[in-house]
Structure 1
Amino acid sequence: MASDDGSRPDLAGVPDAVFRLDAGGHFTYVNAAAELLLERRADELLGRRARDCFPAAVNTIAEERYQQTLADGRAREFDYFYEPQQRWFEIRVFADPPGISVFFRDVDSRHRAEAEREAELRRLTSVLEALPSATVLLDEHRRIVTGNRAWMAGLARPELAMGIPGSDYLAAVQSGLAPADAETIATGIRRLFEAPAGTTPGTFEHEYSRSTPATTGWFRLQASRVELSTRVVVTHTDVTERVRGEQALAWRARHDDLTGLPNRSTLLDLTAEALAAGLDEEGAGAALIVLDLDGFKTINDSLGHGIGDQLLRQVGHRLAGVLRPGDAVGRLGSDQFVVLAHHCHVSDAADLAFRLQGTFTRPFPASGISVPLSASVGVAVAQPDARDPHQLLSDADAAMFAAKSMGRDRVRLFSPGLREAARWRLEVATRLRDEAIDQLVVHYQPVVRLDTGAVEGVEALVRWQHPERGLLAPDTFLAVAEETGQIIPITRWLLRETTRRAAAWAAEGLPLRMSVNISARHFSAETLVRDVRLALRESGLPPDQLVLELTETSIAEDPTRAEDQLTVLRRAGIRVAIDDFGTGWSSLAQLFSLPIGTLKIDRSLLVAAERVTGGEGGAVLAAIVALTRTLGIRSVAEGVETVEHLRMVREAGCDMVQGWLLSHPMPADEVPRWVRRVQEAGGDACAIAAATASVPTAP
């Protein structure tokens, strides 16, 4: 640091860069900090004119401000971009007769940061305009700075409008909201603003409804703080259609899709509530009345399912018309209805059963014809200590079967003599809790590619090797397992057994994708994800070699919970298939919103298509297959039993096929031999099956 006269030592301790110019613009003083920023030594500058030393600053704002301060003696402060160094400086100029003193510092990083923030805000503004949802930008005072086009357009909609630019957002958002929602939103927004500077900005999400006298809308609020800023962006997405759809799906999950009546699950829940209430003061309690239409299959086959559906709706309507206040009627499925009656003695329940039966005395009109119907009716009245709705339904069902066996169109009250079926159900439930799980065996049915005939994998089908009754089919015990909850440990065992088996086959050079059926019970227990992961980890089977098969009905019981768990499994690489498509509850919108990879077309659709179209069923199935293919979902035709079925599904474009035409389910030790026989015969299982089926048998 030096000066031409060695004066002014009081500036030696100043941290800023400092230099002095005399009235003629010559350097008279330069401190060490100035030498560094000017990139010149003091002895190169002292006594020389600034214009000569720094020609790039000539006729710039810097020279202009120097001259102005020399002229009027007023201090000036400004930012200056020096081109040769490509840097910003903050400059302060003071009169220092006979010249000026210039204090300056490097503010390039600050200036560029501010410029970047401004650019980011401009970019953010353009992004807000591109967002389809109504979006606002809030300043640090929680006031609306601006809104995008969707927000401004929404101001005309009373269910959405929540404040104009300049208004307090938190005050405006309160209108039309439930107090709990308003408080949640206010708290979430405040937390975003109060987050310490320099921390990673958080986010806040909340779904809420907003009501006006005319309508109610549902919205998803998503808020986040802009990085390097005190501002917050809030987006309001209108999810009204989705919520209404979910409400409709929830209603449908609890009601029969055809008649609109409560379904089996709902009636059992209502029955459980009635049983929990116990007997009233007069000793009357709940009763279940099961009605099974007599010969309804014949009506469906002869008149068609369209007329059958009309009749079922009429039956439900007539039954509802004779109920007492507080009673409920539901559809168990197919052609069975059930009535829950409250505050009944045996005589009350019998009287109601006969009145319900009396609704069938008049024929049912449908599509211009008059159809006579009758029903077999079973009645079970709860005992004082009854608490199990399934047991009460089983008693009523047993009485109904007794009525049907007596010649149909009868009413039968439950009695202990009808408990043989119930005893078997109890035996099944007991043994499944004890030793029966060790008596379960698995048979495997091959799944074959239609294009090449190669064996793609197998479906695992559980059987019970009963010590007294022999090998039992799943329909003799799985329904009880489903009701009692024992289906969950059975499925855990099945997952371990089948994944271990598939891994062993793969180690032998026989990689077969393993398909395992999953019950709806597993969704409600919320252990499915854990059980599948444990089975895969213990067996070493790759996740993409496991397919979980679920029926439409099992998903419909709790679609949200099913979707959550299936999404986790699908992300892990596990495949998901919908089994028995066409036989259960069907909402394509809900079905195809799930993370499924395979759709298994039930045999009933093959039979129906074959009957309706006179053998040209491939065209009927093609629409289903085309839809699945558009969505990236593979199709499997189940229950292929004839060469005609095989031709039909091939023409429809199905990806894979299984059924008795190709192979019956077989024990595990027979699978490798069967696959190798197919390979030795050319590898096309479809061609082999078709050729074998076409060979006439000897007389």
Structure 2
Amino acid sequence: MKLLKVRSLQSKILILFIFLLLIVQLVSFFSTYQASQKLERTQLNNRIINATNVFKTQINNRRYYLSAFAETAAKDYGLKSVLEEDNKSFLIALNNHRKRINSNLAMAFDMDGIVFAQLVTYKTPDGKEKVKIGAGQGQLFDQQNDFIDEDNAQLVKLNGQLYQLSLAAIKSGDRTIGWIGFGYLIDTELAQELARLTDVNIAFAIESDTGYLITANSAEERYPIDSNLFSAIIKKTEKHYIYQQYSLGSVGSDKLIALLFKSKVDVLKTVGVQWENLVLLITLTLVLSIISALAIAKSITRPITQLVSQVKAITHGDYDGNVAVEGSEELYQLSNEFNHMTKAIVSREETISFQAFHDPLSKLPNRNALINELNKRKVSNLDFLVIQTCFIGAADITDTLGYKVSDDVVLQVSNRMLKSQLPIACFHLGNENFVLLVENQSVSPLIEQLLAELNIQCQFESISLHLQFVIGVAVSTLHNGHNVDELLQKSNVALQYAKKNKKSFQIYEPQFDINALERLFLTNSLKKAIEQNELVLFYQPKMTLDTMTISHVEALVRWQHPDKGLIPPDSFISIAEKTGQMGALTRWVTTAAINQYVKWRNQGVDISIAINISAENILDKSYPDFVIALKQQYQLSDNAITLEVTEDAVVADPEKATEILSYLSEQGFKLSIDDYGTGYSSLAQLKQLPVQELKIDRSFVQNLSTDESDKIIVHSTLELAHNLGLSVVAEGIEDEPTLLWLKSLGCELAQGFFISKPLPVDTLNLWMENTSYNINRIEA
């Protein structure tokens, strides 16, 4: 212990001074370390996110470019003019088009899928690019259906090479006579080009049932294709690299994925240099401090005490005090430097704090600052409005004009917010989203003034943009005593409601949450309802007008929920369409309706049943086989079942719809166009469809007795249908004059509440027994 006892005052001063400096340096080092760690995480995250966004943009641009050029080439009159001439002339014309975009693949095939022209590029030993006739010329292109059914460029593997390919139809008039396509190689050169643009390494890998195969790599010398690094990235176990996987699509039964990766060490090189400089600075500071301490006289005990006190204050986060030392010039200089060091620490902490509570682009307070502000207002008795707003089309601005213009738009919007006299405070939540806090007042005039201030043009050199803002409002007094999370949630719910319904603003209403919860409940319960037969069918009679006989019914599905009772179709049909359950729902309706038809047939009642099928059913190749199997199983006549399809379902994909409907018609099913007049089908499309019946929408029928314009429309529709050889069903008949007027014009079938509303089967059976109308029955 005696060895540790220091008697020399100079030694005590030296030891104490070094100790104090170490504490100060550690405090500074710790603060800098925390900031540096956060900066490292942010830099790593931003690098891979930005690289991924750039990668997606480049791939999408290539896809769009190929699609657009293929469409242009397909319409070229010169190309089509040599199509039926000798193959050599067509190859020359095709190659000229290929040169325009420097594509690696150009091909054309006929309607049977036979490739009658194929050009591919290859590299000569001296690195020059040449073009030759592809091995697939004259062969069947077995992936034609996969490409024809898609709008965008797809992936294809030809002769061991991967291509990004886009096709376009070659037409002669309205008739498609072939297909032409152009493609780019997906190879090492592409990987290197994308790596240069994204500043990360790029690799392409084929995923199959047997594993992964690296097909191209931007840095093959550093990362060979058999490197264990790729396996670790794919399995997401690699810890020393930042990486991201991006699916590019399917190649046959396999998938092509892109791997974006970069060593964390490479990303953080600049941070490492800063740490080296910091260590050097600390070392130099310590050395200089020790040398200075040796020259300090014994009389500096009191100044040292002052320094110790200041160090303790700094340790506890108190940076307000300054060291004022009376004595020699050396001590004065030491105290002055100490104060400068304290100010530097304060400056760094202020910078970190500003970054934590402000948006880096607009410099407006961010979400963290908003949460703090709302928490402060929780204890106040003042009412206020939370206004959440954004401008429409932010993504389009970025995609079309670039990030610089997009950032300039955000800055101009931020400046408008700051200049406005309306808000107490404004906050930027990132991208196009802003939040304003406003004193509680009449909302409509406030919103009108705010929109007037925001909805003005933004000028960028020669570009003029007119921004359109959407606003969601939540009032603080309506939401559980200024609950912060609820306020932000409600304002966002109101904003999303306004966007969805194309409104300029919306004040939050409690039923928004109720509707959202109700819809979520139905979404989660619908699959079980179909499986457990919670659905029921209602039937609405149709009358054959020339005999005034009930001969048809339409099957309308309802949901008999055990807790919520009878749920109308408007509440769950859209859910079924969006959640992919429309196929199962239609199959249930089809099975139930056919079973009911069989029961009526066994009772001697001959009632044809109409079943509604959706666009999803039309595009589902398995549905026709399903309904045909039921028809054969129950030995149904051709008039037993009518399949009703809406105009919109046909317009979605006319060619495929026509193909499926023709197949159903050939199998003996009667087909009807439902809700005619509300969709966008043309007369030319209607003429081509293999339908036997046209159903006029209720909106044109229900007011026929009072609306002359509706009479004109219905009259012309009847004439059109009859001229095309179609029978007509009028839906929505509400009175007898309408019924008799339609009968006089030769309308075949009538449906509406005047005859009967939709009824469950038991009630319908009683109705048929008691009605004065004739019921179509099977003749003995």
Instruction: Identify the TM-score tier after normalising by the shorter chain.
Output: 0.3 to 0.5
**Higher share in helix:** 2
TM-score by length of 2: 0.41
Instruction: Tell which has more relative contact order, 1 or 2 (C-alpha 8 A, sep 6+).
Output: 2
TM-score by length of 1: 0.46
